[in-house]
Structure 1
Amino acid sequence: MKEDKTASVDDINTRIAKRVRDLRAARSETLDALASNSGVSRSMISLIERAEASPTAVVLEKLAAGLGVSMASLFGPEEADEERRPLVRRAAQAIWKDPESGYLRRNLSPPNWPTPIQLVEVHFPAKARVAYESSARRPALEQQIWVLQGQIEVTLGDARHLLRSGDCLALRLDRPLVYSNPSSQPAKYIVAICDEALARWIQGPMQ
């Protein structure tokens, strides 16, 4: 497990860089246009696209919103026209750690399978907090959170939900979203995301 984690983290910035460049090219957007749409500075986007920065979860979420996709899609696939494979082994799943909050996310879904459904496994440290400001996606993303261990607090707009092990919450991401872990123990949960924009991008070369 340790070797798998290290290898995945080492190349993740390169994967993110290529995904952002490819998605921006697919939209025929300049750096200035993406900066305006996402609220991320042009210089930061340029650094990310050259794999010279380690962006936080908040920055990546802003970029994803500006590109009209989920944040999970920024971690794969590496190529839109790679061979479609319905199975991904655990050793090949992309892992990323937020340099600000320390939360660890693993993309569970096959990275190049043309489906709007994505699964993400999250290990959330004790007392951690991540606040996503983006809420302008059209259509809004659908998401469900299933807590496997510990507890987390999820606030969507003005609605606050305290989730414990076994609880599952369905969300429409059309307002600012905050994740926090109020306890002294880490939490683990699964996020299921419906991202039709990513599925269309993957299917594009086949049409």
Structure 2
Amino acid sequence: MDINKLIASRLLALRDRRGLSLTALSERSGVSRSNISLIERGESSATATVLDKLAGALGVTLASLFEAGQDEPAPPSPLQRAVDQPVWTDPASGYVRRQLSPAVRTPLQLVEVVFPPGQRVTYEQVVREADIHQQIWLLDGVMDVSAGDQQWRLQAGDCLAIREDQHISYANPGKTPARYLVGLVTLPFAI
């Protein structure tokens, strides 16, 4: 399946499941109604920042927008073959994101990212319905990561644990692509 079509179907399904109109999702996310409509029709490739805003407004992780098979009647397979892993390229920065995890419901999601040199992506602080923790294990290259007021320069082999409840920025200051693994764990907020 084309990645933009996959994102479109997941976004529409999540919006319908929550009973949100385009206007309501627009107000919650800060993304224009027309932009959401284009994304849902698969006519626009949204940036990582826009997809993060939409995921936050829907109360899901960004990674969940890349999951196939969630809305099919048959249970999803616990195996995600490499050839079937959704791959998406951020049109703004050129970073390439591969959804490694199968569509089986677990609190852990794994994502591989290849981040081009000289690029930056910033995610705003988004209020979510879950507590999302991530660990970033840098496999190759160099990455600068900031979360809130803290900043780190990661070298190959370094692993950083942060929460997604703050402003987060990723930048590759190097001259070669950086490659890293992201492990995301979603925990429900205690009531």
Q: Give the TM-score normalised by the residue count of structure 2.
A: 0.94
User: Which one of 113, 117, 131 corresponds to residue 126 of structure 1?
Assistant: 117
Alignment of 1:14 with 2:5, yes or no, is yes
**Runs of at least 5 residues in structure 2 that lack an aligned partner in the other structure:** none
Alignment of 1:25-104 (within 5 A): 25-80=16-71, 81-104=73-96
CA displacement, residues 48-78 of structure 1 (integer Å, 9 cap, x when unaligned):
1111111111111111111111111101123
User: Which one of 146, 149, 153 corresponds to residue 155 of structure 1?
Assistant: 146
Is the Cα–Cα contact under 8 Å of residues 121 and 188 in structure 1 kept in the other structure?
yes
**1:72 partner SS:** helix
User: Which one of 158, 169, 172 corresponds to residue 167 of structure 1?
Assistant: 158
CA displacement, residues 115-161 of structure 1 (integer Å, 9 cap, x when unaligned):
11100000000111001113311333111100000110110011001
| d(CA) in 2 for partners of 1:82, 1:133 | 36
Equivalent residue number for residue 188 of structure 1 = 179
| d(CA) in 1 for partners of 2:176, 2:187 | 35
**1:48 partner SS:** helix
Q: Which structure: greater helix fraction?
A: 1
Q: CA deviation at 1:26?
A: 1.1
Q: CA deviation at 1:196?
A: 5.0
**Runs of at least 5 residues in structure 1 that lack an aligned partner in the other structure:** 1-7, 198-207
Is the Cα–Cα contact under 8 Å of residues 23 and 33 in structure 2 kept in the other structure?
yes
**1:36 partner SS:** helix
Is the Cα–Cα contact under 8 Å of residues 153 and 181 in structure 1 kept in the other structure?
yes
| d(CA) in 2 for partners of 1:151, 1:140 | 27
State percent identity of aligned pairs.
50
Aligned-pair Cα RMSD in Å: 1.3
Q: Which runs of 4+ in 1 moved over 3 A?
A: none
Q: Give the TM-score normalised by the residue count of structure 1.
A: 0.87
